[in-house]
Amino acid sequence: MAILPILTLPDKRLRTKAKAVEKVDDSIRQLVDDMLETMYAAPGVGLAATQVDRHIRLVVIDVSEEKNQPLCLINPQIIHSEGEQVCEEGCLSVPDIYAKVKRAERVRVTAQDKDGKHFEMDADGLLAVCIQHELDHLEGIVFLDRLSPLKKKMALKKLQKQAVVSNPV
């Protein structure tokens, strides 16, 4: 297993739209294991392949307290969503910026697992938020894009300031 480098804004590769996984083979299973290790080490509750510069429809998630319920979604699609919730989100690709984002309260998702088997699942609460956040990454969308123009501008300014502090000229 390996810890993979995570892309951070303003890296344009985060804007790439992911392509479908054609075949779930050993190389995909290896990537799933590496992404889980990367997510746990970060630490985070989710990670999209886009964030590790692999532009395929694959995400890993674990919102359990004990970090023992890894979920791997290959070729995920949200087929139904309902309700509304506002949750404070963070992102491993947007370090140290947190903001409240409005999302659906419940989602129904179809995906394939590590063996390529198709399944369907329902999610609510934090799991539903995380699924929507990670599927956005696969479309090249980051959570700041879902804020008002003013809040997004403020967040980007903060991000720029952080970059200057950590990389002084």
- Which active-site residues does the annotation give? 134
Alpha carbon distance 44, 90 (integer Å): 9
Q: Determine, following the binding rule CB under 6 A, whether residue 92 of this chain makes contact with ligand K1U.
A: yes
* Site of tokens 């934090």: 126
| Whether 110 contacts 118, CB under 8 Å | yes
Instruction: Please identify which residue in 104, 133, 146, 155 interacts with ligand K1U, judged by CB under 6 A.
Output: 133
Nearest to 19 by CA among 43, 49, 61: 49
Q: Determine, following the binding rule CB under 5 A, whether residue 58 of this chain makes contact with Zn ion.
A: no
Min dist CB 23 to ligand K1U, Å, is 25
Q: Determine, following the binding rule CB under 6 A, whether residue 89 of this chain makes contact with ligand K1U.
A: yes
Task: Choose from ligand K1U, Zn ion, none: what does 89 bind? Cβ within 5-8 Å by kind.
Answer: ligand K1U
Min dist CB 140 to Zn ion, Å, is 12
Q: Determine, following the binding rule CB under 6 A, whether residue 93 of this chain makes contact with ligand K1U.
A: yes
Distance of CA 68 to the CA centre of its chain: 18
Min dist CB 168 to ligand K1U, Å, is 26
Instruction: Please identify which residue in 4, 32, 91, 123 interacts with Zn ion, judged by CB under 5 A.
Output: 91
Nearest to 133 by CA among 74, 82, 93: 93
Q: Which amino acid is at 38?
A: T
